[in-house]
Amino acid sequence: MIIQAEVTIKAPLPVVWNVFSHLEEWKAWNTACNSCRFTNGNELTEGACFTFVVKPIIFPIRVEPRVVSCEPGREVVWEGERLGIRALHTWRFAETPEGVILKSVETFKGPLLVIGRLVGVPGRLHRLTVQMLNQIRQQAEACSAAPSCAATPA
């Protein structure tokens, strides 16, 4: 199962990266992923581990991914496994004249996906991804307009 979506953000790439990479600040604007915090490391770098809670179905699920690669402002890949389902999530950033295109591609594998499909998990995960991308866009565009927010070091 693959879930993908993208958004164009009208803000400079350093601002978009700053918003995305400061996971500990997601709680202020991100409603798709709750209780996000680092569990190993304190910044978005290869080998860092973090945790967050998503609610793709009735009950919330705590996810604990590990960053497998990180090229700041270009690409981040993290992976994790929960309830017998393995996920690989890739985020790609591309600067264009129209703004930054942020693309999310999440690949899931595992035997429980059959049940997940029956209860509508793919559609719910897609909606959560779109929600998060839109919230990153809103936060980055707001930060771009507020010099004190945009000046936060990446």
In this structure, the number of other CB atoms found within 10 A of the CB of residue 117 comes to: 12
pLDDT in tens, 35-61: 888 999 889 999 999 988 876 666 777
CA–CA gap between residue 31 and residue 140 (Å, rounded): 15
What's the pLDDT at 95?
95
Tokens of 141: 């565009």
Q: Which two tokens stand for residue 92?
A: 């790609």
pLDDT of residue 16: 96
Give the model's pLDDT for residue 146: 76
3-state secondary structure of 8: strand
How confident is the model over 21-33, as pLDDT tens digits? 999 898 899 888 8
CB 121 within 8 A of CB 57: yes
Query: Which CATH superfamily is 2-150 part of?
Result: START domain (3.30.530.20)
What pLDDT score does 152 carry? 46
* Positions in the chain short of pLDDT 50: 150-154
- pLDDT of 154: 41
